[in-house]
Amino acid sequence: MNTPQPRVDFGRRALVLRRGRIAVRLQWRTVVVCTALTVALAGTAVLALMTGSYALSPEQVLSALTGGETGFVREIVVEWRLPRVTAALVFGAALGVSGAIFQSLLRNPLADPGIIGFSQGSYTGALVVILVVDGGYALLVGGALLGGTATAVGVYVLAHRRGVQGFRLIVVGIGVSAMLGSLNTWLILKADLDQAMSAAAWGAGSLNGVSWNQVVFGGACIAALLLLAGTLSRPLRQLQLGDDAAAAHGVRVSPTRLGLILVGVALTATVTAASGPIAFISLVAPQIGHRLARTAGITLVPAAFVGALLCLASDYLAQHIAPNPLPVGVITVVLGGGYLGYLLFTEARRRL
Amino acid sequence: MKLMDATEAAAPTAERQPPVPRRRRRAIGLVGALATLIVLMVLSVMIGSKAIPVPVIWDALLNPPSSPDQFAIRDFRLPRTIVGLAVGVALGLSGALIQALTRNPLADPGILGVHAGASFAVTVAVGLLGVRSAQGYMWFAFAGALIVTLLVLALGTTRKGSSPVVLVLAGVCVGAVLGGAREALQLADPDAFDAMRYWNAGTIAGRPLDVVWPILPFFAVALVLAFAVSGPLNALALGDELAVAQGVRVARTRVLAVIALALLAGGATAIAGPIAFVGLMVPHVARWIVGPDQRWIFGYSILLAPSLLLVSDILGRVVLRPGEIPVGIVTAFVGAPVLVALVRRKKASGL
C-alpha cells in the first residue's frame, strides 16, 4: 500500500525519475542546461569534423558517421578527425569532473589537481625526460605520470598528521608546487632553446597526433573513473558543509576524501598521459557549470559537459585560427578565462 | 579612524594585563628580525665568487675605489644588495596587503594579475617591438602590472563595492587570458621565448642603481598608503558589515590598498622579474608569529621578506660557484621547506 509522499518544496523545480525502489531527483535547470550543452557539443563536433585542409559538408560527415560513406571521405572523418574530436570530448569531461571534485572537496573555488602538485610534478617528470634523458614518447608519458604521482603522494604524506586536513593539504601543495615550479624554470633556463620550446609546447597540452589507440584506452579508463566519481559524489555534497558537519551526517570523512582525491588525480593523470597537461579546464569548468546550472554547490555533471565543450571548442580554434597549430592549452586558458570573466561581470551587474 | 582609536582606548582594563608581555615579545622579535636583516646585508656584500673581508668593504664605502675588490663592491655587490632590500620589502608588504584585502591567508600578490600583466607587457615589448635590454623591459613591466591590476579592480567592483572573492576570480580570469596570449606569442617567436625564459626566472643581479632609483618614489608612496590603511584593514578582517559599523569606509580602503599593492608588486616585478613565493609565504609566517594585527604583520613582513630574498640570493651565488642561480628560483627552495615544516607543527591559521 502506498502512502502519499509529503511534497517537499526544494525552492526549485525538480524532475523525479522513479522506477521501483530507485528514484533519481534531478533539477530542471540542470537538465535543461545539460541538454543545451549536448546540442552545442554535437554542433561543434560536426563543425570540427567538417573543417580541415579537405573541407566536407555536414551531410557527408553525418553519412560517414552512420556508415553511409566509404573510401576517402570515411577515412578522413572516422580515421583522421574523429579520434581527435572524441579525445577532446572525453578528456575535457574528465578534467571538468576532476576539477569539480577538488573544488568541492577543498571548498575552494581556485582548487584543481594542480593544488596537490600533480601538474608541476608531471611537468618536472616530462622535462627531465625531454632535457636530461632525451627519451621517446613512451618514456615521456612514463616520466610525466611518475613525476605527477610521486609528487601527489609526497604532498599527501607531508600533509598527513593524524589525518589530512584540507587547509594543510593546500599549504603543503603550494610549497611543493613552488619548489617544483622553480626547478622547472631552472631546467628550461639551462636547456638548449629548441628542446626548451618543445618542452614548453608539451607543457601547454596538445591533442596533435592523438590516435584511436590512445582514445580507446584513455576513454575506457576515464569511463570507469567517472562511474566511480558518480558513486562517490553523494558524500561530496555533505563534505561541502565542512568536515564536522559531514561527519555528523554519517560520512566517513578521511576514507571518502582519500578516495575522491585518488579518483580526481587519476582522471587528470589519464589525460596528461595522452595529451600533456591541458591547463585551466579543471579550474574553470566547474565554476562555469555551477553558474550556468545555478546549483547550490559545485556539481559534477554540468562541470563534465562544460569541460567537454570547452576542450572541443578550444581544440577547434587551436587548429584553425593561427597559421600554424597552437597547443590547445593556450586556447582553453583564453576561452575559459574570458568566459568566466564575462559570467562574473554579468553576475556582479545583476547583484547591483 | 577616530572611532577605531576610541574602541582601542576603551578596551577593558582586565584584558590589558596579558597583552603587555606579548607586545614586548613582538617588539623583541621585530628587533631580532632587523638585526638578522642587517647581518644578511653585510653578508650579501661579502660573499660571492670571491669573498671580500669587512675592512675592505668599509674602505670601499668611505673612500673612492682603488682596488678591483672595491670596484666589485661599488658596482656589483652593493647595488645588488640594495635592490634585494627594496624588492624584498615591496614583495613582503604587497603579500601582506593582498592577504588582508582578500581575507585569504594564502593569497599571492600575483593573484590580481600583477605578474600576468608584467610578463605580457614584456613579451609584447620583446616579441613585437624588439626591445632587448633589461632596463628597457622595466617600464613596460611596471606599466603592464599597473594597468592590469586597475583593470581587475574595475572588473571586480560593482556600484555596491567589491567583494574579495569576485576580485580574486576576476584577477585569475584576466591573468589567464593574458597568460594564454603571452604563451601563444612566445611559442610563435623563438627570440621572445629565449628572452622571456631568462626574465621569468627573476633576478636581482645586473640591475644598476641609476636604473632602479626612479621606481623607489613609487615604493615610498605605496609604503605610506599601506600603513595608512592597515588600521581599517584590521576592521575589514571582521567582515564588511562590522567594518562599516566601526566607521571604516570599505570601498576607499580597498581601492587604496589595491593601488599600494599594484605599485609595490608591479615595481618589484619591473625591477627583478616575477619572484613568486616570497609575497605568499612571508606574511603567512608573520601571521603565525604575531597574530592577526595587520600593523605588526606589515612590520614583520617588511623585515622578513628581504631577509628571505637575501638568503636565497647568497645561496644562489654559493651553491654552483662560480656559476649563479637566479634568486627567483632559490626562494622557493629556501622558503617551501620552512613553510611545510611550520604547517605541520602549527595549528593552521585562518584570517
Pick from A162, A169, A179, A347 the residue to mutate for testing the B interface (most B CBs within 10 Å). Answer: A179
Check whether B349 has a pLDDT greater than 50.
no
The residue with greater pLDDT, B119 or B156, is B119
Q: A28 vs chain B: nearest CA distance in angstroms?
A: 27
CB-based contact B187 A327, cutoff 8 Å: yes
* Residues of A in Cβ contact (< 8 Å) with B106: 170-171, 174
Tally Cβ neighbours within 10 Å of residue A256: 18
Select the residue of B173, B181, B332 nearest A340 (Cβ to Cβ): B173
**Distance from C-alpha of B144 to C-alpha of A288, rounded to nearest angstrom:** 28
Rounded to whole angstroms, the Cα distance separating B222 from B256 reads: 9
| pLDDT greater at residue B149 or residue A116 | B149
A244: Cβ contacts below 8 Å, ≥ 6 apart: none
Compute the distance between CA of residue A156 and CA of residue A163 in angstroms, rounded to an integer: 10
Question: Tens digits of per-residue pLDDT, A55-86?
Answer: 888 888 888 888 777 778 888 888 888 888 99
Beta-carbon separation of A172 and B332 below 8 A: no
Candidate from A170, A327, A348 with C-beta closest to B158: A348
**What are B251-290's pLDDT values in tens digits?**
888 889 888 988 998 888 888 888 888 888 899 888 888 8
Mean pLDDT over all residues of chain B? 81
pLDDT computed for residue A8 by the predictor: 65
More confident residue, B342 or B38: B38
Residues A272-297: pLDDT tens digits?
Answer: 888 888 878 888 898 889 888 887 77
Q: Which of A199, A190, A88, A182 is nearest to B187 (CA)?
A: A199
Is residue A346 assigned to a domain? yes
Of B160, B169, B329, the CB nearest to A185: B329
As a whole number of angstroms, the distance between CA B98 and CA B107 comes to 6
Q: What is the pLDDT of residues B216-260, one digit of tens each?
A: 999 999 999 998 998 888 888 888 788 888 888 888 888 898 889
User: What is the predicted pLDDT for the residue at A167?
Assistant: 74
At B339, the pLDDT band (50, 70, 90 cuts) reads confident
Q: Residue A306: is its pLDDT beyond 90? A: yes
Please give the share of chain A, as a percent, with pLDDT higher than 90. 15
What residues contact residue A206 under an 8 Å CB cut-off, 6+ apart?
Answer: A275, A276, A318, A327, A328, A329
What residues in B contact A340, CB-CB < 8 Å?
169, 172-173
pLDDT at B158: 64
Residue B6 has pLDDT above 70, yes or no: no
Is residue A6 in some structural domain? no
Q: Which residue of B has its CA nearest to A337?
A: B173
Distance in angstroms (rounded) separating the CA atoms of residues A223 and A128: 31
Q: Identify the pLDDT of residue B343.
A: 78
Query: Which is it for strands B157-158 and A22-27: parallel, antiparallel or unpaired?
Result: unpaired
Query: Angle at Cα B144 formed by Cα B140 and Cα B149, nearest 5°?
Result: 155
pLDDT band at B302 (very low <50, low <70, confident <90, very high): very high
Residue of A nearest to B337 (CA): A175
* Residue A3 belongs to some domain of the structure: no
Interface residue of B166, B174, B177 to substitute, partner A, most A CBs within 10 Å: B177
Instruction: State whether B172 and A283 contact (CB < 8 Å).
Output: yes
> Quick one: cell of B127?
616579441
- Cβ within 8 Å, pair B172-A324: no
Name the band, by pLDDT with cuts 50, 70 and 90, for residue B13: very low
Range of the domain at A292: 14-350
Mean pLDDT over A240-253 rounds to 84
**Pairing mode of beta strands B161-162, A14-19:** unpaired
CB contact under 8 A, B340 and A176: yes
Q: For testing the chain B interface, which of A167, A174, A280 should be mutated: the one with the most B CBs within 10 Å? A: A174
> Which chain A residue shows the shortest CA-CA distance from B170?
A341
Among the partner residues A338, A344, A349, nearest to B169 by beta-carbon distance:
A344
Residue A38 lies in a domain: yes
Q: Any idea what the CATH number is for the domain that residue A174 is in?
A: 1.10.3470.10
Give the mean model confidence (pLDDT) for residues B183-193. 82
What mean pLDDT is predicted for residues A30-46? 91
Rounded to whole angstroms, the maximal C-alpha distance in chain A is 77
Chain A residue numbers touching B174 (CB-CB < 8 A): 337, 341
Rounded distance between C-alpha atoms, residue A267 and residue A152, angstroms: 13
At residue B162, the pLDDT reads: 62
Mean pLDDT of A308-327: 86
B14 — pLDDT class (breaks 50, 70, 90): very low
Is B277–A178 a contact, with Cβ atoms under 8 angstroms apart? Answer: yes
3 state SS of B55: helix
- Give the model confidence (pLDDT) of B60-87 as tens digits: 777 776 777 777 777 778 888 999 999 9
Instruction: State the total domains in chain A.
Output: 1
Interface test with B, best of A120, A172, A182, A315 (most B CBs within 10 A): A182
CB contact under 8 A, A182 and B328: yes
For range B134-163, the mean pLDDT:
79
- Going by pLDDT thresholds of 50, 70 and 90, the confidence category of residue B27 is confident
For the segment(s) B2-345, the CATH number from 3.30.70.2470, 1.10.3470.10, 1.10.290.10, 3.50.50.60 is: 1.10.3470.10
**pLDDT, average across residues B310-323:** 85
Q: Which residues contact B145 (CB under 8 A, 6 or more apart)?
A: B113, B114, B115, B117, B118, B121, B262, B265, B266, B269, B270
